[in-house]
Amino acid sequence: MTTATASEIQHVTPAASAPATDHPDTDSPAGLFKIEPFTPHCEVIRVAGDHAVIGVSPGNSYFSAARVHDLARWGLALFERVDFVYTDLYVAEMYAASGYPPEDARRKAVKNLRGVRAKVLGAVQAVDPGGTRLYAHAMSDFRGNAAYREIHDRLQARLAGDDEFRTTCEKLVDTFLAGKAGRASDAQREVCLAYVCAEAPLFLDTPAILGVPSSLNCYHQLLPMAELL
């Protein structure tokens, strides 16, 4: 069972001035986005077309309702099964770590989570109303998944006992906190580490977690986690 990563999925918008023969086939759902596999192995997984995880971030303007709907159509045109996953763990804490006052961070998290949940669930209902191939999950849903918990527990153990792995994760934390003014506190760094460990299992073994033969992890831009893990 294999998890692979797409470094980018780019929305395809034909240029009005381009010749018709140069236009991507955006009339077909499969032509709505251009995918850039992270490695040759990722391309093999893409071609297999068993499964895709599409990550959706709360508060990210890229993920409009229309674009999430297009991602759903695109995913089902290319993969046998698609699972949307949106982050709902440590969202307020991550906003606070990036510089928001605690109460502002809490309000921002509530608002953005409400919005992303509505967009994802709306797309699933519209594109696959029977619920046979397209699914939606909050990250917290996986806390009840035995395979996810096992991977998460192993990551926590490695953080405590594997200096090389801890250094890799600390680099991810540095990336998340790069835009924050001033030095991050130890508490802020620990929140970021918790966030990394919550997301990492889906990069490591999505097939075990979701019961699929192979899986491509898709996002609209290259994620530092893909580069480091």
Q: Identify the DSSP state of 33.
A: E
Measured distance CA(164)–CA(103) in Å, rounded: 36
Indicate if 57 belongs to the active site.
Answer: yes
8 Å CB contact between 105 and 95:
yes
CA 188, 167, 40, 201: dihedral to nearest 10 degrees? -50
Task: State both tokens at 85.
Answer: 């996953």
Q: Which of 7, 17, 28, 57 is catalytic?
A: 57
Q: Residues 135, 85: contact at Cβ < 8 Å?
A: no
Question: Which stretch of DSSP H or E encloses residue 106?
Answer: helix 102-127
**Helix-helix angle 65-78:102-127, to 10 degrees:** 50
Q: Which of 98, 100, 99 is nearest to 108 (CA)?
A: 100
Tokens of 210: 């979701």
Does the CA dihedral 134-135-136-142 come out positive or negative? negative
User: Order of strands across the sheet with 81-86?
Assistant: 33-37, 2-11, 214-218, 51-56, 81-86, 134-138
Catalytically active residues, by annotation:
57
